[in-house]
Amino acid sequence: MNTWQQWVLAGTMLGTLGACGKKAEVQQEIRPVRTMIAGDRHAQTADSYAGEVRARHETRLAFRVPGKVVERYVSAGQQVKKGQALARLDGSDYALDLSAKQAAQSAAQVELAQQEADLARSRELLKQAFISQAQFDRQHSALEAARARAKQAAAQASASGNQADYALLRADADGIISEISAEPGLVVAAGQPVARLAADGEREVAIQLPENALDKVRSAKTLNVTLWSTQQQFPGQLRELAGDADPATRTYAARVRIHAPAGQLQLGQTARVTLPAASGQGLYLPLSAILDTGGKHSVWVVDSKKLTVKQRAVTVATLDSHGATLSGGLNAGEQVVTAGVHLLRDGQSVKLLKP
Q: Decide if pLDDT at 36 tops 70.
A: yes
Q: Decide if pLDDT at 198 tops 70.
A: yes
| Cα–Cα distance, 131 to 143 (Å, whole number) | 17
Q: What is the pLDDT, as a whole number, of residue 216?
A: 85
pLDDT tens digits, one per residue of 209-242: 998 888 888 888 889 898 988 888 889 999 999 9
Average pLDDT over residues 1-6: 51
| Cα–Cα distance, 52 to 60 (Å, whole number) | 18
Please state, for a pLDDT cut of 90, what percent of the chain lies above it: 44
Strand partners, 293: 296
Q: What is the per-residue DSSP string for 188-240?
A: E-TT-EEEEEEESS-EEEEEEE-GGGHHHHHH-S-EEEEETTT--EEEEEEEE
User: Residue 42 contacts by C-beta under 8 Å, 6 or more apart in sequence?
Assistant: none
Q: What is the pLDDT, as a whole number, of residue 261?
A: 80
- Give the CA dihedral 31, 33, 39, 40, nearest 10 degrees: 140
pLDDT bin (cut points 50, 70, 90) of residue 52 is: very high
Identify the weakest region by mean pLDDT among 138-142, 280-284, 303-307, 333-337. 280-284
Q: How many CB atoms lie within 10 A of CB 260?
A: 18
Q: What is the pLDDT, as a whole number, of residue 100?
A: 92
pTM of the model: 0.58
- Chain-centre distance of CA 176, in angstroms? 19
| Cα–Cα distance, 152 to 156 (Å, whole number) | 6
Strand partners, 313: 298
pLDDT tens digits, one per residue of 305-352: 888 999 999 988 877 667 788 888 888 888 999 887 888 888 888 888
Q: Decide if pLDDT at 152 tops 90.
A: yes
Sheet holding 193-199, edge to edge: 58-62, 193-199, 175-180, 79-80
Q: Decide if pLDDT at 187 tops 90.
A: yes
Average pLDDT over residues 65-91: 94
| Cα–Cα distance, 165 to 128 (Å, whole number) | 53
Q: What is the pLDDT, as a whole number, of residue 260?
A: 84
pLDDT bin (cut points 50, 70, 90) of residue 292 is: confident
pLDDT bin (cut points 50, 70, 90) of residue 282 is: low
Average pLDDT over residues 49-56: 92
Q: Decide if pLDDT at 125 tops 70.
A: yes
Q: What is the pLDDT, as a whole number, of residue 85?
A: 95
